[in-house]
Structure 1
Amino acid sequence: MNKRENKRLVKYIFFEILLSAILLLIGLAIVYFTNYNFKDVLFVEGMVVIILGIFSGISGNSTGLSLQGMGQNNAQYVSNANLETLKEEKEKTKNNLNPNISIGLNMVSLIIGGAICIIIDFII
């Protein structure tokens, strides 16, 4: 591994530890102000963070077909314009296929942070 990859890995591990510590502190605050069990709070926090991590990786094409012309006098014109735009975008990205789920450092960090929170819950 080169220097750049090592820096990125250290940054990634630091973010994981920081996220886990923040989740634990939030869990302690919730337990302090409510009557919930700490294990239950950690489990729910972990699930929420995992779901946020998964949803943060989902992306899409916002210039595709839309319903903005429905009910208007020029609905056929707007629909035709939308279809032409979609056709041009497909031609541009014909050779360059972009997936709708992009795996980035933030997505993986959130998922692993939530998993660490759930693992701590099972250890306790």
Structure 2
Amino acid sequence: MSERFACRVLGQHRSTQRKGAVLVEDEAALTAAIIALALQYGRYGYRRITAMLRRDCWTVNMKRVERIWRREGLKVPARQPKRAHLWLNDGSCLRLRPERPDHVWSYDFVCTARITGASTGC
């Protein structure tokens, strides 16, 4: 039976029959090394991990590291947003004005302390 006929019957493309799959023996060791580096350096992505692997004498391609990175479900956590400053550049301070009771509790506390005559140190 010819290759052309067999591929047509199976519904496969003929180019899939040209090369055999290359099994890499160090795949498990490389995966373990990538996971160990990702756990140690949590903010590093696959590009920097690739550079570190090359520095540790691994002969790796960046695409291969990225493939293993995605297969293992590794991700760099998103950065937390920076908190807004309470002050402006001119030295003034932004404070909320109370719109209703218990809206800005610190003002209510100061107001209550002044009414009761307690010493707040202000």
Q: What TM bracket, shorter-length normalisation?
A: under 0.3
Determine which structure has more spread, i.e. the larger CA radius of gyration.
Answer: 2
Q: Give TM-score, length-normalised by structure 1.
A: 0.27
Q: Give TM-score, length-normalised by structure 2.
A: 0.27
Which structure ranks higher in relative contact order (CA pairs < 8 Å, sequence separation ≥ 6)? 1
